[in-house]
Amino acid sequence: MKHNVVQLESVWFAYDSAPVLEDVSLCVEQLDFLSIIGPNGGGKTTLLKLLLGLIKPNQGNIQVLGASPEHSRYQVGYVPQYNTNIDPRFPFTVWDIVLMGRLGRNPLGKKYSVKDQEIAAGALEQVNLYELRNRQIGKISGGQQQRALIARALAVQPQLLLLDEPSASVDSKIKKYLYELLSKLNEHITIVIVSHDIGAVSRYVKTVACINRRLVSHNDNQITQEMLAETYQCPVDLIAHGVPHRVFAQHNN
C-alpha cells in the first residue's frame, strides 16, 4: 500500500486579509508525479511554500513525509522558479551552488565531506552538467542555470522534489529534456510541479490538481475542458505546442 508523501487537511492561508488558499485538502501518494495548475494568484506557489515550511497555514494541518514541513524538509528538494536575479559578476560556481544542497544535513560550520562532494558530483551527472561545474553560475545559459538548481535539489537526496514552473523560461527542446529527466527521476522520487504548461503536463505527468484558492479538482491526468473552465473561471481555449498529443479527454457519449 502506498502511503502519502504529502497530506494537506483543510488548509487555509492568507497573507493579509484576503485568503489565498481556502480549505484545501490534498494527498499526494508516494512516487506520484503531480502537476498543480491554475491561474496566477490562485495559490500555487503559496502551496509550495507551505510544503516547505517557509510559511505556516492559518488553519489546517500539513504533513510531509509523515512529519511537519520544518522537520521533513531536509528530505525535500526544491527548485525555485527561474529568476533573472543571478548577478553574472558573482563569484559562485555551479559546483558551489550544487554543494549547498548538502548544508541541510550538516551542522553549522562543518566543512563539506568527501561524501558530500561525491553526492554533488552525482547530482551534476544526473542533469548532465558535470563538465560545467567550475563555471560561474551567472555566466551560463538560463537552461543550464535551471539544471544547476535541479542538481542542487538532487544533492539533498530527496524523497520529494518540488519544482516551481520548471519550464517557464526555457525553449521547447530543453523543456522536453527537462520533463524526460523528471520522468526518469520519478522512478525513485515523488515529484510535485507547479506549472502553467498544460501541454507537457498531460504528456508526462501522472496526476493533476487544479487550484484557484480552492482545490477545484484532483484526479489523473485527463484534463477536461470543464475542469479548466472551472479552475480558470472563464472559458479556456487550449493551444498545444510542439508534440501533438491529446489534451482534451475524448468525449465518449
Partner 1 sequence: MFEALQFEFMRNAIFAGVLVSIACGIIGSYVVINKTVFISGGIAHAAYGGIGLGYILGLEPIFVAIPFSLVATLLMGFIYHRTEQHEDTLIGVMWAVGMAMGIIFIDLTPGYAADLMSYLFGSILAVSTSSLVMMLITDIIIVLIVYFLYNEFLAISFDEEYSRILSIPVEPLYLLQLALTSLTVVLAMQIVGLIMVIALLTIPAAISIQFTTRMYHTMILSSFLGIIFTLSGLYLSYLFNLSSGATIILVASSVFLLSMVFKKLKKV
Please report, as ranges, the residues that interact with partner 1 according to CB under 8 A.
Answer: 52-54, 70, 73-74, 76, 78, 80, 89-93, 96-97, 99-101, 103-104, 108-109, 111-112, 134-137, 152
Identify the three-state secondary structure at position 47: helix
The residue among 71 and 173 lying less far from partner 1, judged by its C-beta, is 71
The residue among 134 and 252 lying less far from partner 1, judged by its C-beta, is 134
Give least dist CB 244 to partner 1, A: 37
CA distance 7 to 95: 34
Give me 158's grid cell: 530527496
CB 192 within 8 A of CB 6: yes
Give least dist CB 203 to partner 1, A: 29
The residue among 148 and 216 lying less far from partner 1, judged by its C-beta, is 148
The residue among 102 and 218 lying less far from partner 1, judged by its C-beta, is 102
Provide the CA 59 distance to its chain's centre, in angstroms. Answer: 23
The residue among 159 and 224 lying less far from partner 1, judged by its C-beta, is 159
Give least dist CB 141 to partner 1, A: 17
- Contacts by residues 119-125 (CB-CB < 8 Å, ≥ 24 positions apart): 119/155, 119/157, 120/95, 120/151, 120/155, 122/154, 123/98, 123/151, 123/152, 123/154, 123/155, 124/94, 124/95, 124/98, 124/151
Give least dist CB 135 to partner 1, A: 8
Give me 57's grid cell: 497555514
Give least dist CB 87 to partner 1, A: 8
